[in-house]
Amino acid sequence: MNELFAQVLQKRDLSKAGELFSLADDEIKDDLVPVLEAISKILDCTDYLQNDNDQSVVEICITKSPQQSETGSIEAHSKCLVSLLEICQKYDLNPAAPEKDPPHAKIASDIMSCLFMHYSKPKVMSLAIPVVVNFLRCNNKELTRNVSSYLSLAALDNADTLAKYVDLIISTILRGNYFLSTVLPQIYSQNKQPIINSIDKLTAIIDLCDVSERASLFQVFGMISKHEPTILEPHIDEFCKYLSSSTLAALVLMMFVDMATANPKAFVDYLPSLKDLAEQQPMYFIQVIQIIGAIGNIDQDNARRSMVYFVSCLGMKDQTALAVILQEIKALSINNHSLLEENIIEISKLSQSGSSAVRLLVQQLKDDLKNSKRLFSSPPQEKETRSVSSQTEGQVTVITVGNPHNAVYPSGAVSVRHTAMSQSTISSQQSIPKSLRNSSSNTRHERDQ
């Protein structure tokens, strides 16, 4: 160990501690592990809590030692730093008086600050995160606030590791640490079910969160709407309150589009307010159109109402919005050809639109209408029929293949008819010389060849 570090740590010499900052990084880079081990012994002493001298020595040494993280040696001594955090967790971290952190809480904050400078290094985070999340259990608001900030940063590159602790994260959020909700969008895909199971509780705290925290919650709700949309339906009324927020409205509407696609009936009662929103805030028009299009698939009455609304909006100048309207009309007309026919004249007025996308969609709608008319107006084609007869003793069997005129069988059926031969006909057939019948049979054989 470096001689100056040894003197300061072994003798707890505070008078020399300030000189540590004069040491060059190269002088102590090989001594970091023994230095941190020596610090851990002081930190874990029973009298550390009352010994101001030792506390100051440790704080100075900790401040100097992690500076080495900038030299690229963090992987080498991160395990020792994490061990120091584990020692801190053995002691009371809750402030005895306002704005006065316990000594172990101060050291823990300094160490975490060092470790999370390297949030993009998986080896460091795989050691740090499992220990750091345990600080969320304490009642030190300042410390947990710092931990939340570090975890939010780490979630960008370490979602898999952090997702293992989603239950602890959710319980911490519900206890009032709302900032931690910013972590949920990053870890949702890695561990969905605990978040889905907490939907009701998370929805209940939206009003208590600030704007950025609410945005994070709605991002998570939007992810859930793509996989479990019906679980959000009981909260539509609550969600609608945030349609007036310029920050949140787009997130809410995108979630509503997914929900309406899965179950459009849930949004029928909200149509008037959604239409008002689209009129007052044109930037949300496309999402509202998509919701109305989904509602049009419920039944013919809703399809007609949706079509009337779509056609009433065809006069707008926004070409992107027009293209979306025409796409919804096209989807709606698949099962409602008559609605397309009733409105094709109005739709065709867009044929001269400046947008190639709009012109293409109009032409597709015209073609769809022509094809549907052709399909329903073309008479059924009669199939070719063939009859093949065979004769057995006293009976003729006639087999008809196809769909002859006035047939009682369905198209493509095969009918079999047995006809009994009269005695005179049988006798006539039997009177034909065998040689003649054989000759006739041979002639047919040659002709067939």
Q: Of the candidates 128, 40, 127, which has an alpha carbon nearest to the alpha carbon of residue 88?
A: 40
- The residue from 164, 199, 219 where one domain ends is 164
CB proximity list for 227: less than 8 A, separation 6 or greater? 192
> What is each CA distance from 73 to 67, 104, 382, 434, in whole angstroms?
10, 24, 86, 111
| Number of compact structural domains in the chain | 2
Are 257 and 251 spatial neighbours (Cβ–Cβ below 8 Å)?
no
Q: Which of 145, 164, 183 is the last residue of a domain?
A: 164
DSSP letter (8 states) at residue 33: H
In whole angstroms, give the CA distance from residue 20 to residue 61.
8
DSSP line for 301-344: HHHHHHHHHHHHTTT---HHHHHHHHHHHHHHHTS-HHHHHHHH
Residue 397 lies inside a defined structural domain of this protein: yes
pLDDT for res 71: 52
Residue 416's DSSP bridge partners are: 399
Half-sphere exposure of 74 (CA within 13 A, CB side): 24
Strand partners, 97: 100
169, 183 Cβ separation under 8 angstroms:
yes
227 within a domain of the structure (yes/no):
no
Distance CA 248, CA 229 (A): 18
- Tell me how far apart the alpha carbons of residues 77 and 64 are, in angstroms, rounded to a whole number: 14
Note whether residue 402 is domain-resident. Answer: yes
Q: Does residue 93 have a pLDDT over 90?
A: yes
Average pLDDT (375-403) is 49
Whether 393 is covered by a domain: the verdict is yes
pLDDT in tens, 17-67: 777 777 776 777 777 888 888 899 999 998 899 999 999 989 888 887 765
Q: What single-letter DSSP state applies at residue 437?
A: H
The answer to whether 39 and 60 are in contact (CB under 8 A) is: no
For residue 248, being part of any structural domain is answered with no
Which two three-digit tokens encode residue 95? 């402030």
Mean pLDDT of the chain: 83
- Domain-located, residue 213: no
Averaged pLDDT for residues 64-73: 60
CA distance linking residue 341 with residue 323, whole number of Å: 19
Cα angle 41-46-47, degrees, rounded to a multiple of 5: 100
Share of the chain above pLDDT 90, in %: 61
Per-residue pLDDT for 437 more than 60? no
Tell me the pTM: 0.77
Q: Is residue 328 one of the residues assigned to a domain?
A: no
Query: Does residue 195 register a pLDDT over 90?
Result: yes
CA 228 to chain centre: 10
Which residue matches tokens 């960008």? 156
What is the extent of the structural domain holding 24?
1-164
pLDDT at 266: 98
Strands 386-392 and 414-420: unpaired
The yes-or-no verdict on residue 193 having pLDDT over 70 is: yes
Looking at 122-136, 250-264, 285-299, 420-434, which range is the least confident one? Answer: 420-434
Q: What are phi and psi of 308, to 5 degrees?
A: -60, -40
Q: Phi and psi (nearest 5°) for 414?
A: -115, 125
Residue 358 inside a domain? The answer is no
Burial 25-43 (b: 16+ CB within 10 A, else e): eeebeebbeebbebbbebb
pLDDT tens readout for residues 274-310: 999 999 999 999 999 999 999 999 999 999 999 999 9
- Work out whether the CA dihedral 56, 58, 61, 62 comes out positive or negative: negative
**Has residue 435 got a pLDDT over 80?**
no
3-class DSSP state of 240: helix
pLDDT score recorded for residue 432: 41
Q: How far apart are CA 60 and CA 211, in angstroms?
A: 39
